[in-house]
């Protein structure tokens, strides 16, 4: 497997001087007797009104995905994550959805940096698009930055500033100090953030779970989290994804046991395992088992190959020599000598597994001697696509193993038991749930209240909300412009609500193009052609459309029509009512009027 050389990334190391500087900022101001108000003190009080800490939510609340939050104090702003989400059925033709960062663009002189919790798409996917307007320094752990670097290279961005931090490092960004705290998740290098601000400490959990037997042996740093909590935390912002699930999340080691059973019980069959490309720990387990059972590994899918190469280069993925073969070489091996590792766990239309299942992948032909393992849970909304893939695999004769049959995947997000542990260790004064739909956020607030937090000390934010914090108060502040931008092709230009409205209109009701020829001097109708797409019209209907149109144009004084738009409106009105009455559809009507 070819691994391209990576340009060096600036390393941010943890040192005693940095920690000392943070401690100095946490000194307690001595009590003094209140002074009598003067004109000068009133002016100072007015200025201090702007010295509240402001949390601005650009994504990741009221939704799963598109995570992005800005923390602002005075003239300083830091950004936490910049993720994307995938379009719904109401967004035809849209490839990706990213946060609208217009507010940040207008205040880019205040931005001191972007800190990234981990390398999943819903936390880093928007970065290449945002960097074109906000070229700010980015801070993250080694794998996180490697994945970001792959993205910005694809977008031909050459001037990005990437700063690599170690777990436990503290960085200074304006008036903020940010400590990266190790947590467990379904990707290596995931961190929580302990942010020291002028009004107190804000602790952002990132995506996490508590795993006492992680694949890489690095457990969540509960001791450090407890230490942070014991010194006082003003605000906790925590992952709400699995708030509806009681208990704790299973360890990743459970999956290894299941995979080992799959390998041992399919000794004479070919194995095809689909998993998230970013789950490097899962990839490592598969590679280790391939060695154990003397199989070669072939990666399938561009993202799978890219991430495996990148993770191997930085030491996050250990690939033994001569283990990897090119996907095109699998025909040279017996079925029991090969395991194919593929993308496509969510039934994505162009993914490797989906194309295998539909018989459109010329490098792999599914047959009766194949066992296909889908090592992932179904993301809500993708059920139809993934079960369609599973059905097609069965039709081709394969055996399929997926989550409802075997414990072949575990979540990377904390359940209620782990969330209780986090709250108990942090002991925050205020709480704002993140990373969840509204029901998740509401239930997480209820959990915080059950643990003793006052009702008035929790808030649920929506995109475009500002939460204002002082050392003693939390309240909703101003609304600011926020929402979504749509990526269509390679850019974000030209796709707005009007474009989506037209696409939905076309997909539901179709289009009728009416081409009208008018004689140059008399303005008599010389010809009418009707072209219909996406709507069924009989020959009789088309004849009636032409007759109605000719009659309307004959009655109209076309010589007095002042512009083309007015002429187009006459054409539309003449047939719109008839079409609706005949078909109960409201197609887009596109007139083309030519004077000849």
Q: Which residues are catalytic?
A: 239, 413
Structure tokens at 532: 């219909």
Alpha carbon of residue 212 to chain centroid:
27
Identify any residues that bridge with 182 across adjacent strands, giving them in sequence order.
191
Which residues lie below 8 Å from residue 98, measured CB to CB, with a gap of 6+?
Answer: 66, 82, 83, 84, 125, 126, 129, 130, 484, 485, 487, 492
Element (H, E) at 420: helix 416-426
Phi-psi category of 594—alpha, beta or left, where left has phi over 0 and alpha has psi -120 to 50? beta
Helix (H, G, I), strand (E, B) or coil at 176: strand
CA–CA dist 561, 571 (Å, integer)? 12
Structure tokens at 578: 């008839």
Q: In the numeric block, which tokens belong to residue 280? A: 């490097």
Show the DSSP H helices in 85-196 as ranges. 102-106, 121-124, 127-130, 142-154
- For 58, the enclosing helix (H) or strand (E) is strand 53-59
DSSP notation for 439-486: HHHHHHHHHHHHTT--GGGB----TT-EEEE-SS-EEE----S--EEE
Distance of CA 237 to the CA centre of its chain: 18
Q: How far apart are CA 391 and CA 398, in angstroms?
A: 10
Sheet of 338-342, strand order: 296-300, 338-342, 270-275, 370-375, 399-401
Helices (H) and strands (E) in the chain, counts: 17, 25
Mode of pairing for the β-strands spanning 96-99 and 270-275: unpaired
Q: Looking at the chain, how many residues does it have?
A: 596
Place of tokens 């990234």: 116
Closest CA to 236 of 198, 191, 206: 206
Region of residue 65 (phi > 0: left; psi between -120 and 50: alpha; otherwise: beta): left
Phi, psi of 244, deg, nearest 5: -80, -5
- CA-wise closest residue to 264 among 246, 290, 245: 290
CA dist., res. 204 & res. 140, Å (int): 14
Q: Which one, of 172, 58, 29, lies nearest residue 471 by Cα?
A: 29
């Amino acid at each position: 497997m070819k691994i391209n050389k990576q340009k060096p990334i600036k390393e941010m190391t943890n040192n005693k001087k940095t920690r000392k500087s943070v401690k100095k900022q946490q000194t307690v101001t001595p009590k003094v007797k209140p002074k009598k108000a003067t004109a000068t003190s009133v002016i100072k009080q007015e200025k201090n009104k702007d010295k509240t800490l402001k949390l601005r939510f650009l994504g990741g609340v009221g939704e799963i995905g598109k995570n992005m939050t800005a923390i602002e104090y005075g003239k300083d702003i830091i950004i936490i994550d910049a993720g994307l989400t995938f379009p719904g059925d109401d967004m035809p033709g849209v490839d990706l959805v990213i946060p609208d960062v217009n507010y940040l663009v207008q205040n880019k002189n205040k931005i001191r940096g972007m800190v990234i919790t981990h390398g999943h798409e819903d936390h880093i996917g928007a970065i290449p698009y945002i960097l074109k307007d906000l070229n700010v320094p980015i801070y993250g752990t080694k794998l996180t930055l490697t994945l970001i670097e792959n993205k910005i290279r694809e977008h031909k961005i050459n001037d990005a500033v990437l700063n690599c931090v170690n777990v436990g490092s503290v960085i200074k960004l304006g008036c903020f100090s940010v400590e990266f705290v190790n947590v467990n998740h379904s990707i290596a290098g995931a961190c929580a953030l302990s942010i020291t601000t002028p009004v107190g400490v804000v602790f952002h959990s990132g995506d996490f779970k508590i795993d006492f037997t992680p694949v890489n042996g690095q457990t969540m740093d509960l001791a450090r989290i407890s230490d942070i909590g014991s010194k006082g935390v003003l605000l906790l912002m925590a992952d709400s994804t699995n708030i509806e699930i009681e208990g704790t999340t299973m360890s990743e080691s459970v999956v290894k046991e299941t995979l080992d059973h799959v390998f041992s019980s399919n000794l004479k069959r070919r194995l095809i395992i689909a998993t998230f490309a970013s789950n490097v720990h899962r990839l490592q387990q598969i590679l280790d088992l391939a060695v154990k059972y003397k199989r070669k590994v072939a990666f399938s899918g561009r993202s799978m190959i890219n991430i495996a190469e990148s993770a191997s280069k930085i030491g996050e993925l250990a690939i033994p020599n001569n283990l990897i073969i090119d996907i095109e070489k699998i025909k040279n091996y017996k079925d029991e000598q090969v395991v194919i590792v593929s993308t496509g766990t969510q039934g994505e239309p162009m993914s490797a597994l989906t194309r295998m299942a539909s018989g459109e992948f010329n490098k792999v032909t599914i047959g009766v001697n194949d066992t296909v393992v889908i090592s992932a849970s179904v993301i809500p909304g993708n059920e139809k696509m993934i079960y369609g893939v599973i059905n097609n695999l069965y039709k081709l004769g394969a055996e399929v193993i997926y989550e409802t049959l075997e414990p072949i995947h575990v979540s990377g997000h904390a359940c209620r038991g782990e969330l209780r542990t986090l709250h108990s260790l942090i002991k925050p004064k205020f709480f704002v749930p993140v990373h969840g739909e509204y029901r998740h956020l509401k239930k997480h607030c209820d959990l915080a209240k059950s643990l003793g937090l006052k009702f008035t000390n929790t808030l649920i934010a929506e995109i475009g909300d500002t939460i204002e914090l002082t050392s003693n108060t939390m309240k909703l502040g101003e609304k600011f412009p926020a929402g979504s931008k749509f990526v269509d092709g390679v850019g974000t230009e030209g796709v707005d609500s009007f474009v989506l409205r037209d696409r939905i209109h076309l997909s539901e009701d179709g289009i009728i193009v009416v081409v009208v020829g008018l004689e140059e001097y008399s303005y008599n109708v010389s010809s009418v052609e009707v072209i219909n797409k996406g709507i069924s019209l009989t020959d009789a209907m088309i004849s009636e459309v032409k007759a109605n149109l000719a009659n309307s144009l004959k009655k109209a004084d076309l010589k007095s029509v002042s512009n083309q738009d007015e002429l187009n409106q006459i054409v539309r009105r003449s047939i719109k009512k008839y079409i609706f009455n005949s078909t109960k559809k409201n197609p887009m009507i596109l007139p083309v009027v030519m004077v000849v």
